[in-house]
Structure 1
Amino acid sequence: MHRSFEFFHHRDWSGVTISEFCRMLDAYLRYYNEERPKEKLGWLSPMQHRRSLGGEGKISWTPS
């Protein structure tokens, strides 16, 4: 399932402010990109995989 469906599917968004929605979406995307185990990484999270390769486990990208 595409990540957007996982986040939006079967949720009642009534009463959720734009600010709350943005906070929730940011938290979900961080989970999805950093913590969620991936089959192609041997069921490690991306952070665990980076650490296993000698990295910090953090993403050092900063938006411009």
Structure 2
Amino acid sequence: MSSFSRAPQQWATFARMWYLLDGKMQPPGKLAVIASNKLQGLNKPVYHQLTTQAALDK
């Protein structure tokens, strides 16, 4: 695999993205979970639970 094909993937990993959440016809709890996951970065491929847990324990 060449480094050229990985460049867009790495850019998407660390890019700042805007999300528009439409709450119409959504339960408030489900919308809150979706927003929370996006804001915490849990949807990013570099997220790992153990590394974030170690930061919270300090």
TM-score, normalised by the number of residues in structure 1: 0.37
Q: Could you say which structure has the greater relative contact order, defined with CA pairs below 8 angstroms and 6 or more residues apart? A: 2
- Larger helix percent: 2
Query: Whose radius of gyration is greater, 1 or 2?
Result: 2
